Structure 1
C-alpha cells in the first residue's frame, strides 16, 4: 500500500524555556546551522542589545549589528550590511519589529534566520511573513520561516505587560481567522488545508482555555507555543489565511486611520471578537470575551480609544486592506447604518 505524504517547512529547532538564550551557540553547532559561530547577531536598541551581550563569550566570532526596525527601508539597509561578510546565518534578537526586519533582510540575502524572541506580542516570531511599514502602510512580505526559534522566558517576563496581552490577542484571533477560512471554503470554494487549520485552531484553543495568569511560566509557554504554531500553520498552508481574516482586515484599517490607537495584537483581538459576534457564534464569543477580560485585554472600540462611529468607518474600510479575501465582512456586506447597529449591539453585549 503506497504511503503518500508531503514535505512541510518548519523550524529545525524550537526552544521555549527560561535561560534558552544560553544554548544558542550549542544549537547553532548541533543543528549544523553554524559550526564556527560565523553569524550576524542583529538587535534593536532595546532589550535585544542586552541579550546579545550575553552571547559574546559563546559566540566570539559573531558580529553584532544594531538596527532601527519596522520599515521596509530598514530591512533593505540591513540586507546591504549582510553582504559585508560570509555569514552562515543571521540571528535576530528582539520583539516583532526587529524579528520581521531581520527575517526579510535575511530572506533577501538567502541566509537562514534564527528568531530569538524577547517578547510575545505576535506570531511573527515564527511565521513566513514579515510585516513592514512602507509609504505609510503596513505591508506583509513573504519570507522564509525561521530555521530555529528561541523564546527565553527570562526576557519575556521583562517585557511590558501590554506586549503579552497583545500576544494573547493575536493568538486568540486565529479562532476567528480559521472560521473565516472555513466560511470562504463553504461559500466560494476556497481551498482549505486541514493540517494548517488544526495547528492554528488547537493552539489558540490552548490559550483560550488555559487557567493560568498572564505572567505564569506555564501560561507563557502555552502562549509562545500558540504563536509558533500559528506561524507554522501559515508555512504549511502557503498562505496567511489560517491566522488572518476579518480580524486582521479590521486591524489594518484601524492602523491606517488611527495608528496610535493600540498594538497590533490588541487591534486583532477586538477585530476577532467583533467578527465572532457578527457570525452569531455565542459560545465562542462568550469564551473569547471572558478570556480577554480575565487578561485585561481591550474588547470594545472604546477600549482602544475609538468611538463607535470611528470603529464603524474602520470596519467599513477593512475589506479594502486585503482585496480578494472572503470573510464574514464580505459575506454580510453590511451598509454603514446596518454596520453601526451591529457594532452598537456588540458593545452593549459586553457591558
Structure 2
C-alpha cells in the first residue's frame, strides 16, 4: 500500500504596497498576530505594516525579538510565551535567520505563519526548511516544518532600503541553486515533485547572470527597477519553490534531498572556522562554494563563467577573501563529511577530492585576481586533471 503524500506550495505578494494585501490574505486565519523578528527589521518594517493594517480589523498584539540566532531552545521558549499563545497568527519579520526561527516557533505553538522579509538574502521566507545554529555560531542542523509559511509579503520598498550587503550576498546564495540541484539529482529517475523542482531550478540561473549587476547598482542607489524586482523574486521565490520541491527528508517512505550539495557543504563546514566566519555572510561564502562545486564537478568552463560573475559583483573567488587559511581546510573537510550535503553527487565524494576542489577553485581565483592568463589556464587544466573518473551507481 502506497503512503499518501501532501505537498504544500507557498504563495506571495510582491510590490511597494505588499502589506496592504495582509487583511485579505489572512482573513481565514484570525484577526490577531504577534510579530517575531529582528530588532532592526521590526524597527524599519513594523510601522509600515501597522499603517497598512489600520482600520482593517487585523491587530498586531505584540512585537518580540527572535533572539539573534535560530536556536531550538529559544524557539521552544517563545512558542510557550503567553503573547504567542494568545495570538491567532505569527508574523515572521526580518532576514533568513529570524524567519527560520519563527518556523519552529509557529509549528510548536500550532499557529499559522506569514513572513515579511526585510532583506532579499535567501529563500527562507517561502521554504519548509530552517537552518539552526549552535552557541559557537557553527551550523547545528535543519528544522523541517510540516509546511512552508502560508504566505510571504515581499515589500520591495522595505527591501530596497535594507543594507546592500544582504542583497549582494543573496545573489551569491541564489547562484548555488541550479548547480547544486542538478548535481545532486543527476542521472536519477525522479518522481513527480523533485522532477518539477529540478526543472524549475534551471530558471534560477539566467536572471542572475542577466540582471544582477544592474540590480545591485539599482539597489545601492535606491532605484526601483525591473531588474531589481526580478532578482529579488529569484532570490526569495524561485529558489524557495525549488527548495520545497527538492526536500522531503521527513517522509516515512521515499525520503529525498536534492536541494543542496557541494557549495553548501563548504558553507556549513566553513562556519566552524571561528571568528572569521562571523564576518562573512551566508551567501558570500556560498558563492565561493559554487566555484568549489564547479571544480569538484570537472566543469572548468563553468568555473570560469561563475568566477567572472563573482568578480563583476565583488563576490569572493579566493579563500583569502573569506579569511580562510589553507591550514583551516582539514577542519572544513572533516566537518563537511557530517553535513547533510556530503555525498550528493553521482561519483566519488572523497575527502581528498573535496579538499582538492577547494584548492583548485582558490588557485583559479588567485590567478584571475593576478590577471595571469597562463596561471588561469593551468588552474583550469588542473581541475580536469583532478576529476573523478569512477561514477558511483545510485538510486533514489
TM range (shorter): 0.7 to 0.9
* 1:194 CA drift (Å): 1.6
> Aligned to 1:257, which of 273, 280, 286?
273
The secondary structure found in structure 2 opposite 1:14 is strand
**Equivalent residue runs for 1:149-168 within 5 Å:** 149-168=152-171
Give the RMSD, CA atoms, in angstroms: 2.8
Scaled by the length of structure 1, the TM-score of the pair is: 0.85
Q: Deviations over 1:14-60 (max 9, x none)?
A: 1122232233233323xx233xx222222321132332123335256
> In the aligned structure 2, how far is the partner of 1:344 from the partner of 1:293?
13
Counterpart for residue 38 of structure 1 = 32
Counterpart for residue 18 of structure 2 = 20
- Using a 3 Å threshold, how does the CA distance of structure 1 residues 242 and 292 change in structure 2: closer, same or farther? farther
Counterpart for residue 81 of structure 1 = 81
> In the aligned structure 1, how far is the partner of 2:205 from the partner of 2:258?
11
Larger Rg: 2
Scaled by the length of structure 2, the TM-score of the pair is: 0.76
> Aligned to 2:245, which of 236, 256, 259?
236
- Using a 3 Å threshold, how does the CA distance of structure 1 residues 337 and 141 change in structure 2: closer, same or farther? closer
Q: Which runs of 5+ in 1 are unaligned?
A: 1-5
**Equivalent residue runs for 1:170-249 within 5 Å:** 170-183=173-186, 185=187, 193-210=194-211, 212-214=214-216, 215=219, 217-226=225-234, 227-239=236-248, 241-249=257-265
Q: Deviations over 1:234-277 (max 9, x none)?
A: 22233484431111110011101233241111111111112112
* 1:346 CA drift (Å): 3.1
> 2:184, 2:261 within 8 Å by CA — same for their partners in 1?
yes
* 1:334 CA drift (Å): 2.1
- Using a 3 Å threshold, how does the CA distance of structure 1 residues 298 and 323 change in structure 2: closer, same or farther? closer
- Using a 3 Å threshold, how does the CA distance of structure 1 residues 101 and 281 change in structure 2: closer, same or farther? same
Counterpart for residue 3 of structure 1 = none
Q: Deviations over 1:98-122 (max 9, x none)?
A: 1111111001122211111000111
Counterpart for residue 49 of structure 2 = 55
> In the aligned structure 2, how far is the partner of 1:86 from the partner of 1:343?
52
* 1:161 CA drift (Å): 1.3
> In the aligned structure 2, how far is the partner of 1:47 from the partner of 1:174?
26
> In the aligned structure 2, how far is the partner of 1:195 from the partner of 1:344?
34
**Equivalent residue runs for 1:59-74 within 5 Å:** 61-67=59-65, 68-70=67-69, 71-74=71-74
Counterpart for residue 392 of structure 2 = none
> In the aligned structure 1, how far is the partner of 2:347 from the partner of 2:165?
28
Counterpart for residue 147 of structure 1 = 150
